[in-house]
């Protein structure tokens, strides 16, 4: 089947359905509290009905010179009036644009809220204003696109709060009154709509509080739960003071749903095996693979092993541009950056959206990511990270004859522990980093029922996220105080808008990965990988099954990722952070390069790089049992799975994994341990 040439119309904005009142027959006032973040980028829409294509309607805008302005059309051409005083980036203003139809006088006022000089301009316009009864847009203006689907352009970067729309030209005093109280005598009869963004912060509704019913909704998920112009600093949680979080932060590169037309469909046959698949697409000599997982029918399972596809983590990294947008990446990686084809494409196509490791075009952090768009780095034959790395695990299971089902994070979040019921073994990906409360609750409950988990990676169970309560396929992550991250949430904006939960590290919410898996994030480095050395605890009778057929003291001194099994990111055991006291550390990595550095949350102050190795720079392979017959085996390294395919899956890492899998599949409960006994030795 032939595909379709399609484009993406990115840029978050608000839209209010059309109304006869939006024709502005006798004049109007458009006003809002505004914090522009890229006024230097030129003309951007803020509020109104102006159509660039039809030269009709009127809108409050950022002008070409970065100042507040008014755009109006007469059906043949458009005129622009600006104050001529460029606005300061990230400063709050009250912006007012009015027009009196009888006199033809336009008036634009630009008032800084923090004090300073108010600028304004009055101009008699040489045109007969042509009203437009179409939808009203916020943070954009109307423009038709050739594909017939796009309708907006001129996307605004920054925050908008308390927009007001009136049916006549207000004076500056009347506008200030309408801003404070749209029901005040003297202005309420002229108010068409007054929107309060402090309502429905967790949703997409833009509430008109006048009773006139001009409610709107946001498009492409701009950021909500952000500080407004009146934020006092006395409350950090928007739920406790929603009136101080009455702004919406719009971005010209926000994208939720690409909205592409269907060009190919496939109905999954009833008997289709649960697995990872890909649609193979070709165009001449070019090819592309579009992966997807087939999960078992709801309420059923097809095998004893569940591979938990870390789809939330894939979404967090979706279209990550850190390899070419971060000017320190080569220093961090101790090597030159190698650009992939998708990197080069994404450099010039920001409309495909960003990852939570990127910043928007205005410098603010990306807190929302969606899978409803092409995700170019979630593919085979790309940089070995995420899905590409996880196929080392699935290919090993397939080669070894282990039947498994695929269940994604979305099923785990939505269905809870019931989606895991009946599975004997749960296998994670190499980097299951992002989890909701519901996901962790489900895994923990399943383990308490006797489940056995194989955690085949590192830096897992790290960030707390939220799924949108209504929109599918989208996550939110606030990068709050603490953690190894590429941006930091702004002051007072650590609570997620989707759910109101505190964001950031699970460790900072008192739920450490060590409690769940025995290990937690300790170091990262991207130049080379190393090996493990077995510890004395590897001879404990409790793990005798684990090392059958393995005679070497050093394991994993080979691999497809950096040449070894211990690399990229490492996890270590730490009893002070919740590693169960009866955990056995059966192997520990060593001989890492100076580029393998301790993560920030392990440091309380700047420290010099230690040439002879930091005591916290190592990966631990751990094992512990759980009351009820279950157990957890953790590998402590993202690079671990890259050693599985070496020598056609015939090596000591593959043997170790096979021994663990075979024992975990046996119904015999794990018993004979004392959960209260102290560890046999301290773990750094």
Three-state SS sequence of 227-247: CCCCCCCCCCCCCCCHHHCCE
- Give the pLDDT score at 677: 61
- Give the pLDDT score at 608: 67
Nearest to 584 by CA among 677, 491, 473: 677
Report strand pairing: 425-427 vs 452-455. parallel
Report strand pairing: 216-219 vs 13-16. antiparallel
Q: 654: pLDDT confidence band, cut at 50, 70 and 90?
A: very high
Q: 280: pLDDT confidence band, cut at 50, 70 and 90?
A: very high
Alpha-carbon distance of 159 to 244, in angstroms, equals: 13
Alpha-carbon distance of 196 to 207, in angstroms, equals: 6
Averaged over 251-279, what is the pLDDT?
93
Q: How far is CA 245 from CA 11, 137, 495, 676, in A?
A: 22, 21, 11, 47
CA 78 distance to own-chain centroid: 39
- Give the pLDDT score at 395: 97
Q: 346: pLDDT confidence band, cut at 50, 70 and 90?
A: confident
Q: Which has more confidence, 504 or 323?
A: 504
Alpha-carbon distance of 557 to 547, in angstroms, equals: 16
Is the Cβ–Cβ distance between 203 and 236 less than 8 Å? no
Report strand pairing: 223-226 vs 216-219. unpaired
- Angle subtended by helix axes 652-665 and 387-400, to nearest 10: 70
What residues form DSSP beta bridges with 121?
108
3-state SS assignment for residue 547: helix
Q: 381: pLDDT confidence band, cut at 50, 70 and 90?
A: confident
330: left (phi over 0), alpha (psi -120 to 50) or beta: alpha
Task: Indicate the average pLDDT of the chain.
Answer: 93
Is the Cα dihedral 79, 85, 86, 89 positive or negative?
A: negative
Averaged over 516-541, what is the pLDDT?
96
Averaged over 472-487, what is the pLDDT?
92
Averaged over 9-31, what is the pLDDT?
94
Is the Cβ–Cβ distance between 130 and 146 less than 8 Å? no
Averaged over 673-683, what is the pLDDT?
58
3-state SS assignment for residue 476: strand
What residues form DSSP beta bridges with 59?
48, 71
Number of C-beta neighbours around residue 386 at 10 A? 25
Nearest to 504 by CA among 455, 435, 607: 435
Q: 614: pLDDT confidence band, cut at 50, 70 and 90?
A: confident
Instruction: Tell me the residue ranges of DSSP E strands in 565-661.
Output: 566-572, 584-590, 597-598, 620-626, 630-634
Is the Cα dihedral 427, 462, 529, 342 positive or negative?
A: positive
Topology of domain 306-665, per CATH? Rossmann fold (3.40.50)
Alpha-carbon distance of 393 to 305, in angstroms, equals: 13
Topology of domain 13-250, per CATH? Jelly Rolls (2.60.120)
Q: Is the pLDDT of residue 684 over 50?
A: no
- Give the pLDDT score at 481: 83
Alpha-carbon distance of 673 to 583, in angstroms, equals: 10
Buried b / exposed e over 168-180, threshold 16 CB at 10 Å, is: bbbeeebbbbbbe
Q: 327: pLDDT confidence band, cut at 50, 70 and 90?
A: low
CA 88 distance to own-chain centroid: 29
CA 98 distance to own-chain centroid: 39
Strand order in the sheet with 463-464: 434-435, 463-464, 504-505
Q: Is the pLDDT of residue 333 over 70?
A: no
- Give the pLDDT score at 132: 79
* Percent share of the chain, pLDDT over 70: 95
Is the Cβ–Cβ distance between 61 and 46 less than 8 Å? yes
3-state SS assignment for residue 90: coil
Instruction: Give the length of the chain.
Output: 684
Q: Which helix (H) or strand (E) holds 68?
A: strand 68-73
Is the Cβ–Cβ distance between 38 and 151 less than 8 Å? no
Averaged over 435-459, what is the pLDDT?
97
- Give the pLDDT score at 328: 64
Q: Which helix (H) or strand (E) holds 660?
A: helix 652-665
Q: Is the pLDDT of residue 410 over 70?
A: yes
Alpha-carbon distance of 368 to 478, in angstroms, equals: 9
Give a three-class secondary structure readout of 155-208. Answer: CCCEEEEEEEEECCCCCHHHHHHHHHCCCCCCCCCCEEEEEECCCCCCCCEEEE
* Percent share of the chain, pLDDT over 90: 82
List pLDDT tens digits, range 191-206: 999 999 999 999 999 9
Nearest to 527 by CA among 480, 473, 581, 593: 593
Say which range, 98-107, 436-445, 480-489, has the weakest mean pLDDT: 480-489
Q: Which has more confidence, 570 or 283?
A: 570
List pLDDT tens digits, range 76-117: 999 999 999 999 999 999 999 999 999 999 999 999 999 889
Q: Which has more confidence, 482 or 51?
A: 51
Q: 399: pLDDT confidence band, cut at 50, 70 and 90?
A: very high
Q: Is the pLDDT of residue 683 over 50?
A: no
Boundaries of every domain in the chain = 13-250, 306-665
Say which range, 428-432, 457-461, 591-595, has the weakest mean pLDDT: 591-595
Q: Is the pLDDT of residue 220 over 70?
A: yes
Q: Which helix (H) or strand (E) holds 409?
A: helix 409-415
- Give the pLDDT score at 662: 98
Q: 1: pLDDT confidence band, cut at 50, 70 and 90?
A: low
Averaged over 604-608, what is the pLDDT?
74
Q: 611: pLDDT confidence band, cut at 50, 70 and 90?
A: low
3-state SS assignment for residue 211: coil
Is the Cβ–Cβ distance between 196 and 224 less than 8 Å? no
Is the Cβ–Cβ distance between 636 and 620 less than 8 Å? yes
Is the Cβ–Cβ distance between 209 and 195 less than 8 Å? yes
Whole-structure pTM value: 0.94
Is the Cβ–Cβ distance between 108 and 118 less than 8 Å? no
Number of C-beta neighbours around residue 440 at 10 A? 18
Q: Which helix (H) or strand (E) holds 109?
A: strand 105-112
């Amino acid at each position: 089947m032939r595909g379709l040439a399609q484009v993406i119309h990115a840029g978050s904005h608000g839209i209010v359905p059309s109304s006869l009142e939006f024709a502005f027959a006798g004049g109007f006032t458009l006003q809002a509290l505004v914090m522009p973040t890229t006024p230097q980028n030129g003309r951007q829409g803020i509020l109104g009905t102006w159509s660039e294509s039809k030269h009709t309607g009127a809108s409050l805008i950022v002008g070409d010179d970065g100042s507040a302005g008014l755009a109006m059309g007469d059906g043949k051409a458009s005129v622009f009036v600006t104050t001529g005083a460029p606005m300061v980036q990230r400063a709050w203003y009250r912006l007012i644009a009015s027009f009196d139809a009888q006199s033809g006088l336009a008036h634009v006022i630009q008032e800084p809220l923090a004090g300073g000089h108010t600028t304004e301009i009055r101009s008699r316009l040489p045109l007969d204003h042509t009203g437009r009864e179409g939808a009203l847009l916020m943070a954009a203006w109307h423009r038709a696109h050739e594909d017939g689907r796009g309708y907006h352009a001129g996307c605004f970067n920054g925050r908008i709060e308390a927009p007001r729309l009136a049916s006549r030209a207000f004076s500056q005093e009347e506008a200030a009154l309408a801003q404070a109280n749209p029901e005040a005598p003297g202005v309420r009869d002229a108010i068409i709509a007054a929107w309060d963004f402090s309502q429905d912060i967790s949703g997409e509704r833009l509430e008109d509080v006048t009773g006139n019913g001009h409610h709107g909704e946001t498009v492409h998920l701009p950021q909500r739960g952000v500080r407004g112009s009146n934020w006092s600093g006395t409350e950090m949680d928007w739920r406790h003071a929603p009136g101080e979080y009455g702004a919406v932060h719009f971005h010209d590169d926000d994208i939720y749903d690409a909205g592409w037309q269907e060009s190919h469909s496939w109905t999954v046959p009833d008997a289709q095996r649960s697995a990872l698949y890909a649609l193979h697409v070709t165009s001449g000599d070019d090819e592309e693979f579009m992966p997807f997982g087939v999960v078992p029918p709801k309420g059923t399972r097809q095998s004893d092993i569940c591979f938990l596809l870390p789809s939330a983590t894939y979404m967090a990294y979706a279209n990550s541009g850190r390899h070419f947008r971060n000017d320190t990446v080569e220093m961090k990686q101790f090597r030159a950056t190698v650009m992939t084809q998708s990197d080069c494409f994404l450099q010039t196509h920001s409309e495909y959206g960003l990852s939570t490791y990127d910043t928007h075009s205005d410098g603010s952090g990306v807190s929302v990511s969606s899978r409803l768009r092409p995700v170019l780095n979630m593919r085979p034959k790309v940089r070995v990270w995420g899905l590409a790395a996880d196929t080392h695990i699935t290919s090993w299971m397939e080669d070894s004859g282990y039947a498994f089902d695929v269940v994604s994070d979305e099923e785990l979040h939505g269905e809870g522990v019931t989606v895991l019921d009946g599975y004997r073994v749960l296998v994670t990906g190499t980097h299951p980093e992002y989890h909701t409360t519901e996901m962790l609750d489900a895994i923990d409950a399943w383990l308490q029922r006797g489940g056995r988990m194989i955690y085949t990676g590192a830096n897992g169970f790290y960030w707390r996220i939220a799924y949108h309560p209504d929109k599918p396929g989208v996550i939110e992550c606030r990068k709050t105080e603490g953690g190894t991250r590429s941006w930091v949430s702004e002051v007072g904006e650590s609570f997620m808008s989707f759910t109101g939960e505190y964001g950031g590290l699970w460790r900072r919410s008192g739920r450490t990965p060590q409690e769940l898996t025995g290990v937690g994030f300790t170091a990262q480095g991207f130049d080379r990988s190393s090996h493990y050395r077995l510890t004395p605890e590897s001879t404990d009778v409790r793990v005798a099954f684990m090392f059958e057929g393995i005679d070497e003291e050093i394991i994993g001194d080979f691999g497809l990722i950096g040449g070894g099994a211990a690399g990229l990111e490492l996890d270590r055991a730490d009893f002070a952070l919740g590693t169960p006291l009866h955990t056995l550390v059966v192997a520990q990595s060593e001989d890492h390069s100076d580029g393998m550095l301790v993560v920030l949350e392990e440091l309380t102050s700047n420290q010099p790089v230690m040439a002879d190795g930091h005591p916290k720079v190592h990966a631990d392979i751990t094992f512990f049992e759980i009351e009820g017959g279950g157990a957890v085996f953790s590998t402590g390294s993202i690079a671990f799975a890259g050693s599985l395919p070496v020598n056609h899956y015939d090596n000591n890492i593959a043997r170790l994994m096979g021994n663990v899998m075979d024992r975990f599949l046996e119904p015999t409960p794990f018993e004979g341990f004392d959960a209260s006994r102290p560890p046999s030795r301290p773990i750094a």
